[in-house]
Structure 1
Amino acid sequence: MIDQRRGRETDLPTRPEPAAAQPTLLDHMGGPMGFVYSTVPVVVFVAAGAFLPLPMTIGVSLAAGLALTGFRLLRGERFTSAIGGLLGLAIAVGIVAWTGSAKDFFVLGIWMALAGFVVTFGSVLARRPLTGVIWNLMHGNEHAWRADAVTLRAHDVATLAAAAVFGARFVVKEWLYLADSTTWLAIAKIIMGTPLTVLAALVVLWAFRRTTERLVPQQRTRPTGS
Protein backbone atom coordinates (compact mmCIF):
# COMPACT_ATOMS: atom_id res chain seq x y z
CA MET A 1 0.00 0.00 0.00
CA ILE A 2 2.80 2.34 0.82
CA ASP A 3 4.45 1.71 -2.54
CA GLN A 4 1.17 2.19 -4.35
CA ARG A 5 0.59 5.50 -2.61
CA ARG A 6 4.04 6.64 -3.49
CA GLY A 7 3.45 5.62 -7.06
CA ARG A 8 0.25 7.59 -7.19
CA GLU A 9 1.96 10.61 -5.70
CA THR A 10 4.70 10.55 -8.31
CA ASP A 11 2.12 10.32 -11.07
CA LEU A 12 0.49 13.55 -9.95
CA PRO A 13 1.54 16.60 -12.00
CA THR A 14 3.83 18.89 -10.13
CA ARG A 15 3.14 22.59 -9.99
CA PRO A 16 5.66 24.66 -11.88
CA GLU A 17 7.62 27.01 -9.74
CA PRO A 18 6.68 30.64 -10.26
CA ALA A 19 9.04 32.36 -12.65
CA ALA A 20 11.34 34.91 -11.16
CA ALA A 21 10.26 38.46 -11.82
CA GLN A 22 12.21 39.96 -14.67
CA PRO A 23 13.91 43.27 -13.86
CA THR A 24 12.21 46.24 -15.43
CA LEU A 25 13.87 49.02 -17.38
CA LEU A 26 13.69 51.24 -14.32
CA ASP A 27 15.41 48.52 -12.27
CA HIS A 28 18.30 48.42 -14.75
CA MET A 29 18.68 52.18 -14.33
CA GLY A 30 18.87 51.95 -10.55
CA GLY A 31 15.16 52.10 -9.79
CA PRO A 32 13.55 55.14 -8.17
CA MET A 33 16.64 55.55 -5.98
CA GLY A 34 18.75 55.99 -9.11
CA PHE A 35 16.89 59.23 -9.77
CA VAL A 36 17.52 60.33 -6.19
CA TYR A 37 21.23 59.53 -6.41
CA SER A 38 21.61 61.69 -9.52
CA THR A 39 19.57 64.55 -8.01
CA VAL A 40 20.96 64.91 -4.48
CA PRO A 41 24.48 66.19 -5.41
CA VAL A 42 22.99 68.84 -7.73
CA VAL A 43 20.48 70.05 -5.14
CA VAL A 44 23.12 70.14 -2.40
CA PHE A 45 25.57 72.13 -4.54
CA VAL A 46 23.02 74.74 -5.62
CA ALA A 47 21.44 75.06 -2.17
CA ALA A 48 24.82 75.42 -0.45
CA GLY A 49 25.96 77.91 -3.09
CA ALA A 50 23.02 80.16 -2.30
CA PHE A 51 24.23 80.71 1.29
CA LEU A 52 27.91 79.80 1.44
CA PRO A 53 31.09 80.98 -0.27
CA LEU A 54 32.37 78.80 -3.08
CA PRO A 55 35.11 76.92 -1.12
CA MET A 56 32.60 75.92 1.57
CA THR A 57 30.06 74.96 -1.08
CA ILE A 58 32.61 72.60 -2.62
CA GLY A 59 33.36 71.09 0.79
CA VAL A 60 29.68 70.57 1.62
CA SER A 61 29.07 68.99 -1.79
CA LEU A 62 31.96 66.54 -1.38
CA ALA A 63 30.83 65.65 2.14
CA ALA A 64 27.32 64.96 0.87
CA GLY A 65 28.76 62.89 -1.99
CA LEU A 66 30.84 60.80 0.42
CA ALA A 67 27.82 60.24 2.67
CA LEU A 68 25.68 59.22 -0.28
CA THR A 69 28.36 56.81 -1.52
CA GLY A 70 28.65 55.25 1.93
CA PHE A 71 24.88 54.84 2.08
CA ARG A 72 24.84 53.11 -1.30
CA LEU A 73 27.62 50.73 -0.28
CA LEU A 74 25.78 49.88 2.93
CA ARG A 75 22.71 49.03 0.85
CA GLY A 76 24.80 46.43 -0.94
CA GLU A 77 25.28 48.19 -4.27
CA ARG A 78 28.27 47.34 -6.41
CA PHE A 79 31.38 49.34 -5.60
CA THR A 80 31.81 50.53 -9.20
CA SER A 81 28.25 51.87 -9.35
CA ALA A 82 28.48 53.64 -6.01
CA ILE A 83 31.92 55.14 -6.60
CA GLY A 84 31.03 56.28 -10.13
CA GLY A 85 28.69 58.97 -8.84
CA LEU A 86 31.31 60.22 -6.40
CA LEU A 87 33.93 60.36 -9.15
CA GLY A 88 31.63 62.42 -11.36
CA LEU A 89 30.94 64.80 -8.47
CA ALA A 90 34.65 65.13 -7.72
CA ILE A 91 35.40 66.05 -11.34
CA ALA A 92 32.57 68.62 -11.38
CA VAL A 93 33.64 70.39 -8.18
CA GLY A 94 37.26 70.13 -9.31
CA ILE A 95 36.40 72.14 -12.41
CA VAL A 96 34.57 74.68 -10.20
CA ALA A 97 37.60 74.99 -7.92
CA TRP A 98 39.84 75.53 -10.95
CA THR A 99 37.68 78.14 -12.70
CA GLY A 100 36.16 79.79 -9.63
CA SER A 101 32.68 79.82 -11.23
CA ALA A 102 29.73 77.90 -9.77
CA LYS A 103 28.09 77.43 -13.16
CA ASP A 104 31.06 75.32 -14.28
CA PHE A 105 29.67 72.56 -12.04
CA PHE A 106 27.57 71.68 -15.11
CA VAL A 107 30.12 72.20 -17.87
CA LEU A 108 31.22 68.56 -18.02
CA GLY A 109 27.65 67.40 -18.58
CA ILE A 110 27.15 70.01 -21.29
CA TRP A 111 30.12 68.86 -23.33
CA MET A 112 29.30 65.19 -22.75
CA ALA A 113 25.85 65.88 -24.18
CA LEU A 114 27.43 67.46 -27.26
CA ALA A 115 29.77 64.49 -27.68
CA GLY A 116 26.84 62.09 -27.33
CA PHE A 117 24.90 63.96 -29.99
CA VAL A 118 27.82 63.98 -32.43
CA VAL A 119 28.44 60.24 -32.00
CA THR A 120 24.80 59.13 -32.24
CA PHE A 121 23.72 61.44 -35.04
CA GLY A 122 26.95 60.83 -36.93
CA SER A 123 26.40 57.07 -36.76
CA VAL A 124 22.99 57.49 -38.42
CA LEU A 125 24.50 59.61 -41.19
CA ALA A 126 27.12 56.90 -41.71
CA ARG A 127 24.30 54.31 -42.03
CA ARG A 128 25.60 52.47 -38.98
CA PRO A 129 23.22 53.56 -36.20
CA LEU A 130 24.91 53.09 -32.87
CA THR A 131 22.14 51.07 -31.24
CA GLY A 132 22.36 48.51 -34.05
CA VAL A 133 26.12 48.24 -33.64
CA ILE A 134 25.67 47.67 -29.90
CA TRP A 135 22.94 45.05 -30.44
CA ASN A 136 25.12 43.15 -32.90
CA LEU A 137 28.09 43.19 -30.49
CA MET A 138 25.83 41.80 -27.77
CA HIS A 139 24.90 38.94 -30.11
CA GLY A 140 28.37 37.87 -31.16
CA ASN A 141 28.79 40.42 -33.97
CA GLU A 142 27.60 37.79 -36.45
CA HIS A 143 24.34 39.18 -37.85
CA ALA A 144 23.96 41.11 -41.10
CA TRP A 145 21.53 43.47 -39.41
CA ARG A 146 22.11 46.35 -41.82
CA ALA A 147 20.91 44.17 -44.72
CA ASP A 148 17.43 43.98 -43.17
CA ALA A 149 15.57 47.20 -44.01
CA VAL A 150 13.10 46.92 -41.12
CA THR A 151 15.87 46.35 -38.59
CA LEU A 152 17.99 49.18 -39.94
CA ARG A 153 15.02 51.54 -39.83
CA ALA A 154 14.27 50.56 -36.23
CA HIS A 155 17.81 51.37 -35.16
CA ASP A 156 17.72 54.63 -37.09
CA VAL A 157 14.71 55.62 -34.99
CA ALA A 158 16.27 54.43 -31.73
CA THR A 159 19.61 56.13 -32.35
CA LEU A 160 17.89 59.35 -33.42
CA ALA A 161 15.88 59.25 -30.19
CA ALA A 162 19.14 59.11 -28.24
CA ALA A 163 20.58 61.90 -30.41
CA ALA A 164 17.50 64.04 -29.73
CA VAL A 165 18.00 63.65 -25.97
CA PHE A 166 21.69 64.54 -26.18
CA GLY A 167 21.01 67.46 -28.52
CA ALA A 168 18.22 68.88 -26.37
CA ARG A 169 20.38 68.68 -23.28
CA PHE A 170 23.24 70.50 -24.96
CA VAL A 171 21.11 73.28 -26.47
CA VAL A 172 19.14 74.02 -23.29
CA LYS A 173 22.05 73.77 -20.87
CA GLU A 174 24.45 75.72 -23.07
CA TRP A 175 21.88 78.50 -23.38
CA LEU A 176 21.43 78.59 -19.59
CA TYR A 177 25.20 78.42 -19.10
CA LEU A 178 25.74 81.46 -21.29
CA ALA A 179 22.94 83.21 -19.39
CA ASP A 180 24.79 82.55 -16.08
CA SER A 181 21.72 80.86 -14.60
CA THR A 182 23.12 78.28 -12.19
CA THR A 183 19.77 77.55 -10.55
CA TRP A 184 18.03 76.88 -13.87
CA LEU A 185 20.98 74.75 -14.94
CA ALA A 186 20.31 72.55 -11.91
CA ILE A 187 16.60 72.36 -12.74
CA ALA A 188 17.35 71.49 -16.36
CA LYS A 189 19.82 68.80 -15.29
CA ILE A 190 17.21 67.15 -13.08
CA ILE A 191 14.32 67.39 -15.55
CA MET A 192 16.38 66.38 -18.58
CA GLY A 193 18.29 63.66 -16.76
CA THR A 194 16.60 60.40 -15.76
CA PRO A 195 13.14 61.14 -17.27
CA LEU A 196 14.49 61.74 -20.78
CA THR A 197 16.92 58.86 -20.43
CA VAL A 198 14.04 56.50 -19.63
CA LEU A 199 12.08 57.67 -22.69
CA ALA A 200 15.06 57.16 -25.01
CA ALA A 201 15.83 53.79 -23.41
CA LEU A 202 12.28 52.60 -24.10
CA VAL A 203 12.77 53.32 -27.81
CA VAL A 204 16.14 51.54 -27.79
CA LEU A 205 14.59 48.56 -26.01
CA TRP A 206 11.87 48.41 -28.66
CA ALA A 207 14.51 48.36 -31.41
CA PHE A 208 16.49 45.63 -29.63
CA ARG A 209 13.42 43.41 -29.26
CA ARG A 210 12.34 43.98 -32.85
CA THR A 211 15.81 43.06 -34.09
CA THR A 212 15.98 39.95 -31.94
CA GLU A 213 12.58 38.77 -33.19
CA ARG A 214 13.66 39.19 -36.82
CA LEU A 215 17.25 37.97 -36.76
CA VAL A 216 17.67 35.54 -33.89
CA PRO A 217 16.11 32.08 -34.39
CA GLN A 218 13.54 31.44 -31.69
CA GLN A 219 13.74 28.07 -29.94
CA ARG A 220 10.36 26.39 -29.79
CA THR A 221 9.67 24.19 -26.80
CA ARG A 222 8.27 20.74 -27.57
CA PRO A 223 5.37 19.45 -25.46
CA THR A 224 6.50 16.70 -23.10
CA GLY A 225 4.92 13.32 -23.58
CA SER A 226 2.81 11.70 -20.89
Structure 2
Amino acid sequence: MSGTPAPDGEAERPTFHEAFAQAARNAGIGQVAPGETPDGASLLRAIGGVRGLIESILPGLGFLVLYTFTKNLPLAVIAPIAVSVIFVVVRLVTRSAVMPAVAGLIGVGVSAGLALFTGRAEDNFLLGIVINVVCLLALLISLAVRRPLIGIIVSLLSNDPGGYRKDRAKGRVVLVATWCWVGLFAIRLGAELPLYFAGETELLGSVKLILGVPFYAIVLWITWLLVRAAYAKPAAPAPAAPAVPAVPPAPSSD
Protein backbone atom coordinates (compact mmCIF):
# COMPACT_ATOMS: atom_id res chain seq x y z
CA MET A 1 0.00 0.00 0.00
CA SER A 2 1.43 3.36 -1.00
CA GLY A 3 1.20 6.68 0.76
CA THR A 4 0.39 7.51 4.36
CA PRO A 5 -3.06 6.47 5.64
CA ALA A 6 -5.35 9.47 6.07
CA PRO A 7 -8.71 9.99 7.74
CA ASP A 8 -11.83 9.54 5.64
CA GLY A 9 -12.34 12.34 3.15
CA GLU A 10 -8.66 13.27 3.04
CA ALA A 11 -6.25 12.34 0.29
CA GLU A 12 -3.35 10.10 1.21
CA ARG A 13 -0.04 11.87 1.50
CA PRO A 14 2.57 10.49 -0.90
CA THR A 15 5.63 8.83 0.59
CA PHE A 16 9.07 10.33 0.01
CA HIS A 17 9.75 7.63 -2.60
CA GLU A 18 6.54 8.45 -4.48
CA ALA A 19 7.21 12.18 -4.31
CA PHE A 20 10.77 11.71 -5.58
CA ALA A 21 9.54 9.47 -8.40
CA GLN A 22 6.96 12.07 -9.45
CA ALA A 23 9.61 14.79 -9.36
CA ALA A 24 11.83 12.65 -11.59
CA ARG A 25 8.98 12.16 -14.07
CA ASN A 26 8.36 15.91 -14.14
CA ALA A 27 12.03 16.78 -14.55
CA GLY A 28 13.73 17.18 -17.89
CA ILE A 29 15.22 13.69 -17.83
CA GLY A 30 11.74 12.23 -17.34
CA GLN A 31 10.48 13.52 -20.69
CA VAL A 32 11.84 10.36 -22.35
CA ALA A 33 11.21 6.99 -20.75
CA PRO A 34 14.35 4.83 -20.37
CA GLY A 35 14.80 2.82 -23.55
CA GLU A 36 12.85 5.22 -25.77
CA THR A 37 14.43 7.11 -28.64
CA PRO A 38 14.67 10.86 -27.90
CA ASP A 39 13.69 13.38 -30.54
CA GLY A 40 13.60 17.14 -30.95
CA ALA A 41 10.09 17.40 -29.53
CA SER A 42 11.22 15.56 -26.38
CA LEU A 43 14.13 17.93 -25.96
CA LEU A 44 11.87 20.96 -26.38
CA ARG A 45 9.47 19.56 -23.75
CA ALA A 46 12.38 18.94 -21.39
CA ILE A 47 13.36 22.61 -21.41
CA GLY A 48 9.75 23.69 -20.93
CA GLY A 49 8.75 24.18 -24.55
CA VAL A 50 9.05 27.49 -26.37
CA ARG A 51 7.46 29.31 -23.42
CA GLY A 52 9.84 27.71 -20.94
CA LEU A 53 12.80 28.58 -23.16
CA ILE A 54 11.74 32.22 -23.27
CA GLU A 55 11.10 32.31 -19.52
CA SER A 56 14.54 30.82 -18.85
CA ILE A 57 16.54 33.12 -21.12
CA LEU A 58 14.77 36.49 -21.22
CA PRO A 59 15.31 37.66 -17.58
CA GLY A 60 19.05 36.96 -17.73
CA LEU A 61 19.35 38.46 -21.18
CA GLY A 62 17.42 41.54 -20.06
CA PHE A 63 19.75 42.04 -17.09
CA LEU A 64 22.83 41.66 -19.29
CA VAL A 65 21.65 44.13 -21.95
CA LEU A 66 20.40 46.76 -19.48
CA TYR A 67 23.46 46.63 -17.25
CA THR A 68 25.88 46.64 -20.20
CA PHE A 69 24.39 49.79 -21.70
CA THR A 70 23.27 51.71 -18.58
CA LYS A 71 25.39 50.43 -15.65
CA ASN A 72 22.25 51.14 -13.63
CA LEU A 73 22.03 48.22 -11.19
CA PRO A 74 18.50 48.87 -9.81
CA LEU A 75 17.09 49.14 -13.33
CA ALA A 76 18.98 46.06 -14.51
CA VAL A 77 17.66 43.83 -11.70
CA ILE A 78 14.13 45.23 -11.38
CA ALA A 79 13.30 44.90 -15.09
CA PRO A 80 13.76 41.08 -15.05
CA ILE A 81 11.48 40.90 -12.00
CA ALA A 82 8.78 42.77 -13.93
CA VAL A 83 9.22 40.40 -16.87
CA SER A 84 8.95 37.37 -14.55
CA VAL A 85 5.75 38.76 -13.02
CA ILE A 86 4.31 39.06 -16.53
CA PHE A 87 5.18 35.40 -17.16
CA VAL A 88 3.26 34.39 -14.01
CA VAL A 89 0.24 36.49 -15.00
CA VAL A 90 0.20 35.04 -18.53
CA ARG A 91 0.22 31.50 -17.13
CA LEU A 92 -2.59 32.34 -14.73
CA VAL A 93 -4.69 33.87 -17.51
CA THR A 94 -4.09 30.96 -19.87
CA ARG A 95 -4.59 28.45 -17.02
CA SER A 96 -1.21 26.86 -17.65
CA ALA A 97 1.03 25.27 -15.02
CA VAL A 98 2.07 28.28 -12.97
CA MET A 99 4.78 26.80 -10.74
CA PRO A 100 7.63 27.00 -13.32
CA ALA A 101 7.01 30.74 -13.70
CA VAL A 102 6.65 31.22 -9.93
CA ALA A 103 9.93 29.37 -9.34
CA GLY A 104 11.59 31.58 -11.93
CA LEU A 105 10.18 34.71 -10.28
CA ILE A 106 11.48 33.62 -6.88
CA GLY A 107 14.93 32.96 -8.31
CA VAL A 108 15.04 36.30 -10.12
CA GLY A 109 13.75 38.08 -7.02
CA VAL A 110 16.32 36.53 -4.67
CA SER A 111 19.13 37.27 -7.12
CA ALA A 112 18.01 40.88 -7.47
CA GLY A 113 17.75 41.25 -3.69
CA LEU A 114 21.31 39.99 -3.21
CA ALA A 115 22.67 42.38 -5.83
CA LEU A 116 20.80 45.38 -4.41
CA PHE A 117 21.78 44.49 -0.82
CA THR A 118 25.49 44.27 -1.58
CA GLY A 119 25.56 46.86 -4.37
CA ARG A 120 27.61 44.45 -6.49
CA ALA A 121 26.14 43.59 -9.89
CA GLU A 122 27.95 40.25 -10.00
CA ASP A 123 25.94 39.11 -6.95
CA ASN A 124 22.94 38.85 -9.27
CA PHE A 125 24.53 35.53 -10.30
CA LEU A 126 25.42 34.33 -6.80
CA LEU A 127 22.28 32.21 -6.32
CA GLY A 128 22.92 30.34 -9.57
CA ILE A 129 26.50 29.66 -8.53
CA VAL A 130 25.37 28.31 -5.15
CA ILE A 131 22.81 26.04 -6.85
CA ASN A 132 25.53 24.68 -9.14
CA VAL A 133 27.76 23.97 -6.13
CA VAL A 134 24.95 22.10 -4.34
CA CYS A 135 24.14 20.03 -7.44
CA LEU A 136 27.81 19.18 -7.98
CA LEU A 137 28.21 18.09 -4.37
CA ALA A 138 25.06 15.94 -4.52
CA LEU A 139 26.34 14.17 -7.64
CA LEU A 140 29.81 13.60 -6.18
CA ILE A 141 28.37 12.25 -2.92
CA SER A 142 26.13 9.86 -4.88
CA LEU A 143 29.21 8.59 -6.71
CA ALA A 144 31.20 8.27 -3.49
CA VAL A 145 28.51 6.07 -1.90
CA ARG A 146 28.18 4.02 -5.13
CA ARG A 147 24.63 5.18 -5.80
CA PRO A 148 25.00 7.33 -8.95
CA LEU A 149 22.22 9.89 -8.91
CA ILE A 150 21.29 9.27 -12.54
CA GLY A 151 20.94 5.58 -11.70
CA ILE A 152 18.50 6.37 -8.90
CA ILE A 153 16.43 8.62 -11.17
CA VAL A 154 16.37 6.15 -14.06
CA SER A 155 15.42 3.31 -11.71
CA LEU A 156 12.39 5.31 -10.60
CA LEU A 157 11.42 6.17 -14.17
CA SER A 158 11.75 2.60 -15.39
CA ASN A 159 10.19 0.99 -12.30
CA ASP A 160 13.39 -1.02 -11.95
CA PRO A 161 14.56 -0.42 -8.35
CA GLY A 162 18.28 -0.99 -8.04
CA GLY A 163 18.45 -2.44 -11.55
CA TYR A 164 21.68 -0.62 -12.30
CA ARG A 165 23.32 -2.42 -9.35
CA LYS A 166 22.36 -5.85 -10.67
CA ASP A 167 23.10 -5.28 -14.36
CA ARG A 168 26.71 -4.33 -15.14
CA ALA A 169 25.80 -2.69 -18.47
CA LYS A 170 23.20 -0.47 -16.81
CA GLY A 171 25.61 0.29 -13.99
CA ARG A 172 28.30 1.48 -16.39
CA VAL A 173 25.82 3.62 -18.32
CA VAL A 174 24.39 5.45 -15.29
CA LEU A 175 27.92 5.92 -13.94
CA VAL A 176 29.06 7.60 -17.16
CA ALA A 177 25.84 9.65 -17.34
CA THR A 178 26.32 10.85 -13.76
CA TRP A 179 29.88 11.89 -14.56
CA CYS A 180 28.53 13.84 -17.55
CA TRP A 181 26.38 15.89 -15.18
CA VAL A 182 29.35 16.33 -12.85
CA GLY A 183 31.19 17.73 -15.86
CA LEU A 184 28.34 20.14 -16.64
CA PHE A 185 28.32 21.70 -13.17
CA ALA A 186 32.12 21.63 -12.88
CA ILE A 187 32.52 23.44 -16.21
CA ARG A 188 29.94 26.04 -15.20
CA LEU A 189 31.69 26.71 -11.91
CA GLY A 190 35.14 26.66 -13.51
CA ALA A 191 34.05 29.31 -16.00
CA GLU A 192 31.84 31.44 -13.76
CA LEU A 193 33.70 31.58 -10.43
CA PRO A 194 36.82 33.37 -11.74
CA LEU A 195 34.60 35.95 -13.49
CA TYR A 196 32.50 36.39 -10.36
CA PHE A 197 35.51 37.03 -8.14
CA ALA A 198 37.02 39.35 -10.77
CA GLY A 199 33.79 41.36 -10.93
CA GLU A 200 33.45 40.81 -14.69
CA THR A 201 29.67 41.17 -14.66
CA GLU A 202 29.00 41.48 -18.40
CA LEU A 203 31.26 38.56 -19.29
CA LEU A 204 29.80 36.50 -16.45
CA GLY A 205 26.28 37.14 -17.73
CA SER A 206 27.25 36.09 -21.26
CA VAL A 207 28.94 32.88 -20.07
CA LYS A 208 25.95 32.05 -17.87
CA LEU A 209 23.60 32.30 -20.84
CA ILE A 210 25.83 30.06 -22.99
CA LEU A 211 26.32 27.45 -20.26
CA GLY A 212 22.67 27.60 -19.22
CA VAL A 213 19.90 26.11 -21.34
CA PRO A 214 22.05 25.20 -24.42
CA PHE A 215 24.65 23.30 -22.36
CA TYR A 216 21.93 21.66 -20.27
CA ALA A 217 20.14 20.49 -23.42
CA ILE A 218 23.34 18.93 -24.81
CA VAL A 219 24.09 16.96 -21.63
CA LEU A 220 20.46 15.89 -21.33
CA TRP A 221 20.49 14.56 -24.90
CA ILE A 222 23.70 12.61 -24.24
CA THR A 223 22.15 11.16 -21.08
CA TRP A 224 19.06 10.02 -22.98
CA LEU A 225 21.20 8.30 -25.62
CA LEU A 226 23.35 6.55 -23.02
CA VAL A 227 20.35 5.33 -21.03
CA ARG A 228 18.55 4.20 -24.18
CA ALA A 229 21.50 1.97 -25.08
CA ALA A 230 21.29 0.07 -21.78
CA TYR A 231 17.56 0.13 -21.09
CA ALA A 232 16.21 -0.56 -24.58
CA LYS A 233 13.76 -3.44 -24.51
CA PRO A 234 14.97 -6.51 -26.39
CA ALA A 235 13.12 -7.19 -29.60
CA ALA A 236 10.42 -9.81 -29.29
CA PRO A 237 11.40 -13.08 -30.98
CA ALA A 238 9.73 -13.70 -34.31
CA PRO A 239 6.93 -16.28 -34.13
CA ALA A 240 7.99 -19.70 -35.32
CA ALA A 241 6.68 -20.74 -38.71
CA PRO A 242 3.95 -23.38 -38.48
CA ALA A 243 5.18 -26.88 -39.18
CA VAL A 244 4.21 -28.18 -42.60
CA PRO A 245 2.77 -31.68 -42.30
CA ALA A 246 4.61 -34.30 -44.30
CA VAL A 247 2.77 -35.41 -47.43
CA PRO A 248 2.79 -39.19 -47.83
CA PRO A 249 4.16 -40.40 -51.19
CA ALA A 250 1.61 -41.16 -53.86
CA PRO A 251 0.84 -44.90 -54.37
CA SER A 252 2.72 -46.57 -57.19
CA SER A 253 0.73 -47.23 -60.39
CA ASP A 254 2.62 -50.42 -61.29
Give the TM-score normalised by the residue count of structure 1: 0.77
Alpha-carbon offset, residue 33 of structure 1: 3.7
Alpha-carbon offset, residue 63 of structure 1: 1.6
Q: Give 1:12's aligned residue.
A: none
Judging by fraction of residues, say which structure has more helix. 1
The answer to whether the 8 Å contact 1:45/1:58 transfers is yes
Amino acid at match of 1:25: L
Q: Give 1:185's aligned residue.
A: 204
Change (3 A) 1:220 1:78: farther
Amino acid at match of 2:135: G
- Distance in 2 separating the partners of 1:38 and 1:201: 16
- Distance in 2 separating the partners of 1:138 and 1:220: 26
Which residue of the other structure, out of 44, 48, 51, is the alignment partner of 1:26? 44
| Unpaired runs of at least 5, structure 1 | 1-20
- State the Cα RMSD in Å: 2.7
| Unpaired runs of at least 5, structure 2 | 1-38, 240-254
Q: Give 2:26's aligned residue.
A: none
Which residue of the other structure, out of 85, 106, 125, is the alignment partner of 2:144? 125
Change (3 A) 1:200 1:22: closer
- Distance in 2 separating the partners of 1:158 and 1:75: 37
Q: Give 1:168's aligned residue.
A: 187
Alpha-carbon offset, residue 164 of structure 1: 0.5
The answer to whether the 8 Å contact 1:111/1:170 transfers is no
Matches within 5 A, 1:78-97: 78-97=97-116
Structure 1 range deviating more: 69-78 or 127-136: 69-78
- Distance in 2 separating the partners of 1:22 and 1:57: 34
Alpha-carbon offset, residue 23 of structure 1: 4.7
Change (3 A) 1:171 1:52: closer
Secondary structure class of the residue paired with 1:169 = helix
- 1:153-210 CA distances to partner (integer Å, 9 max, x unpaired)? 1001111111100000011010110121111111111100111111111122124333
Secondary structure class of the residue paired with 1:202 = helix
Q: Give 1:99's aligned residue.
A: 118
Change (3 A) 1:43 1:128: same
Matches within 5 A, 1:18-167: 23-49=41-67, 50-51=69-70, 53-140=72-159, 142-167=161-186
Alpha-carbon offset, residue 88 of structure 1: 1.0
- Distance in 2 separating the partners of 1:78 and 1:146: 36
Q: Which has the larger radius of gyration?
A: 2
Aligned residue pair count: 200
Secondary structure class of the residue paired with 1:24 = helix
Alpha-carbon offset, residue 39 of structure 1: 1.5
Identity %: 26
- 1:94-134 CA distances to partner (integer Å, 9 max, x unpaired)? 11122121110001111211221222133223322111011
- 1:131-153 CA distances to partner (integer Å, 9 max, x unpaired)? 10111123446343212111111
Does 2:218 match 1:199?
yes
Secondary structure class of the residue paired with 1:127 = coil
Q: Give 1:7's aligned residue.
A: none
- Distance in 2 separating the partners of 1:97 and 1:204: 38
Alpha-carbon offset, residue 218 of structure 1: 7.8
Structure 1 range deviating more: 119-128 or 77-86: 119-128
Change (3 A) 1:143 1:114: closer
- Distance in 2 separating the partners of 1:182 and 1:46: 8
